[in-house]
Structure 1
Amino acid sequence: MFMHNKRLQYTVRVSEPNPHLATMMLEQFGGADGELAAAMRYFTQGLGEDDAGRKDLLLDIATEELSHLEVIGSIVAMLNKGVKAQLSEAAKNEVELYRMIGASGSSAKGALLFGGGPALCDSAGVPWTAAYIDSRGEPTADLRSNIAAEARAKIVYERLIAITDDPGIKDALGFLMTREVAHQKSFEKALYAIENNFPTGKLPAIEKYANIYVNTSQGEGDMEGPWNSGDQWQRIDDLAETMPIDGGDGTATVGLDSDDTKVAAQLAARTMSDPTSDPRTGVDLGAGPGAGLTSDGDQGGAADIDDAVAMADKMTVK
């Protein structure tokens, strides 16, 4: 059961309206790393949790995230107070109202339909979606995801703090940013309270593959460090000699019954290409200056981008 306390968890003091800043604040209202997404992520995890300690933790933080949603929503509403009143009362002429909406950085939909109130969307106007929730029902995976979510939210708050000089807003955002740090610490403790929490899940890793580092991006910029070198790692640099890594032939096969084998052979025969052919194509028929080599021979091409511009200018109809 929920009960709403009319006092905010943290006092909101906004010096003056600023619809453009309100739009930016929506990122933490209905955005992917915002407070609504956090609340829904932790609520759904908590409701499905069997461990009493983690269930209590998740529902505590989920409920607090709703109070943070209220703080952010209140900031958005206060920042939009002026434009809401002007639009509602038609206190300005048409040109001034158009200019006000355009200068705010908010969409006409946000200004007209939501009347200056916080909409469940991000700063680009993208509606909130449950697709933001990435829970898997496995605490060792979900807690790591929660830790990352809190870290991402902290970074967004840092950037919002950087774009406002309003001391009251800075103060409130600093509180919300700090709560992300506290939640991250709680999730870390909960994760490491689980014995053998890595790797995630129940099944152990296959030992012969668990310590291999595959150096697949090679050339200038190759680096060595504790993530790919040392006693912990068996590093593979010569991919041609070591792949396929399982020692097989590296092909994909499937067992088909006789009917499927016959139909598959018919399909392969019908769609077979002829590598010895050099068919005349639509490109050949429509080729003009600069098309490069075609079946009819070299049609020419530009030596560089300046040459291409010069050729285009010659072909332009005056």
Structure 2
Amino acid sequence: MFMHNKRLQYTVRVAEPNPRLACMMLEQFGGADGELAAAMRYFTQGLGEIDPGRKDLLLDIATEELSHLEVIGSIVAMLNKGVKAQLAEGALEEAELYNMIGASSSSAKEALLFGGGPSLTDSAGVPWTAAYIDSRGDPTCDLRSNIAAESRAKVVYERLINITDDPGVKEALGFLMTREIAHQKSFEKALYAIEDNFPSGKLPGIAAYANLYVNSSQGEGDVEGPWNSGAQWDRIDDLEKTMPIDDGDGTASVKLSAADEAVATKLALRTASDRSTDPETGVDLGAGPGAGLISGEDMGAAKDIGEAIKMAEDL
């Protein structure tokens, strides 16, 4: 059961209305890394959690995230208070109202449908969605995701702090940003309170592949560090000699029944390419300057394809 306390967790003191800033603040109201997403992520994890300590932690933080939603929503409402009044009362001329909506960088839907109030959208007007919730039901997986979510939210709060000179807004955002740090610390403690917390899930990794590092992007810019070299890693640099990595031939196969095999053979024969022909195509019929070589042409005396194309275009 929830009971709402009408006092905010942190006092909101906005110096003056600023609809454009309000629009940016919506990122932490209804955005992917916003407070509603955090609250719903932790509530659903907490309801399904079987460990009493983690359950208590998740429900505590989930409830606090709702209070943070109230703080950021109150900031948005205060920043939009002038616009809300002008839209509702129609005190300005038509052109001035148009300019007011356009200057806020918000959508007409936000201004007209929500009347300048906080909407469950991000700063681009995209509606909040449960697809933001990425819980998997495994505590070690979800706690790591929660730590990452809190760190992402902290970074967004930093950026919002950097774009406003309003001291009251800065203070409130600084509080919200700092609570993200505290939540990260709690989730880290909960993660490492699980003795075997890596890898996630129950099944162990396959020993032959658990220590491999595959240098699959090669060339200038290759860098070695503790993440890809040293005693911990079996590093693969020669992909031609080592791929496939198992004992197979690296091709995909399936064992078909006799009936399926017969039908698959018919399909392959019916759709086989005739590599002995060079058919004229629509490209050939409509080719003009810049089309390159077409059917029946070759490089002739040209040294390479670029020179052949130039010679063909010069004709």
Normalised by the length of structure 2, the TM-score is 0.94
Residue 63 of structure 1: aligned partner = 63
Q: Given the alignment of the two structures, is residue 205 of structure 1 paired with residue 216 of structure 2, yes or no?
A: no
Aligned to 1:281: 281
Shift of 1:282: 1.0
Alpha-carbon distance in structure 2 between the residues aligned to 1:99 and 1:276: 67
Question: Which ranges of structure 2 fall in alignment gaps of 5 or more residues?
Answer: 300-305
Segment drifting more, 209-218 vs 275-284: 275-284
Supply the distance in 2 between the matched residues of 1:56 and 1:50 (Cα, whole angstroms): 10
Question: In the alignment, what sits opposite 2:127?
Answer: 127
Q: Per the alignment, in what secondary structure is the counterpart of residue 293 of structure 1?
A: coil
Q: CA deviation digits over 1:43-91, x for unaligned, max 9?
A: 0000000000000000000000000000000000111100111111110
Cα distance between partner residues in 2 of 1:298 and 1:33: 57
Partner of 1:32, secondary structure, is: coil
Corresponding position of 2:105? 105
What CA distance in whole angstroms lies between the structure 1 residues aligned with 2:229 and 2:211? 10
SS in structure 1 at match of 2:235 = strand
Q: Secondary structure at the match of 1:62?
A: helix
Residue 93 (1) aligns with residue 71 (2): no
Amino acid at match of 2:58: L
Give the length in aligned residue pairs: 305
Q: Secondary structure of the residue that 1:147 maps to in structure 2?
A: helix
Task: Determine if contact 1:12/1:74 at 8 Å carries over to the other structure.
Answer: yes
**Residue range with higher mean Cα deviation, 276-285 or 63-72:** 276-285
SS at the partner of 1:105?
A: coil
Using the TM superposition, give the Cα deviation of residue 269 of structure 1 relative to its aligned residue in structure 2, in angstroms: 1.1
User: Contact 1:292/1:298 (CA < 8 Å) preserved in 2?
Assistant: no
- Give the deviation of 1:298 after TM superposition: 7.3
> What CA distance in whole angstroms lies between the structure 2 residues aligned with 1:146 and 1:228?
26
Structure 1 unpaired stretches of 5+: 312-318
Does residue 268 of structure 2 align to residue 268 of structure 1? yes
1:235-274 paired onto structure 2 within 5 Å: 235-274=235-274
Structure-2 residue corresponding to 1:11: 11
Indicate if the aligned counterparts of 1:284 and 1:296 stay in contact, CA closer than 8 A: no
Amino acid at match of 2:165: D
Q: How far apart, in 1, do the equivalents of 2:89 and 2:233 lie?
A: 69
How many Å separate the matches in 2 of 1:278 and 1:129? 52
Letter in 2 for 1:86: Q
Tell me how far 1:253 sits from its aligned partner: 1.0
Q: State the one-letter code of the partner of 2:4.
A: H
**Cα distance 1:163–1:218, how it changes in 2: closer, same or farther (>3 A)?**
same
Is the CA contact (8 Å cut-off) linking 1:48 and 1:137 kept in structure 2? yes
The whole-number CA distance in structure 2 between the counterparts of 1:165 and 1:298 is 67
2:213 counterpart SS class:
strand
C-alpha deviation, 1:276, in angstroms: 2.2
**Aligned partners of 1:271, 1:169: CA distance in 2, in Å?**
66
Q: How does 1:1-318 map to 2 (within 5 A)?
A: 1-297=1-297
| 1:315 corresponds to | none
Q: Distance in 2 between matches of 1:195 and 1:263?
A: 54
C-alpha distance after superposition, 1:163-205 (max 9, x if no partner):
0000000000000000000000000000000001011111111
The 1-side partners of 2:268 and 2:163 are apart by 60
SS of the residue 1:294 aligns to: coil
Contact 1:214–1:236 (8 Å) recurs in 2: yes
Aligned counterparts of 2:259 and 2:275: Cα–Cα separation in 1:
29
SS at match of 1:235: strand
C-alpha root-mean-square deviation of aligned residues, in Å? 1.8
Provide the rounded CA distance (Å) in 1 between the counterparts of 2:117 and 2:177.
23
Amino acid at match of 1:64: E
Preserved CA contact (<8 Å) 1:33 1:152: yes
Please state how far the C-alpha of 1:271 moved relative to its aligned partner.
Answer: 1.1
| In structure 1, distance between residues paired with 2:30 and 2:298 | 57
- Alignment partners' CA distance in 2, 1:91 and 1:297: 74
AA aligned to 2:16 is E
* Residue in 2 that maps onto 1:314: none
* C-alpha distance after superposition, 1:1-54 (max 9, x if no partner): 000000000000101111110110000000000000000000000000000000
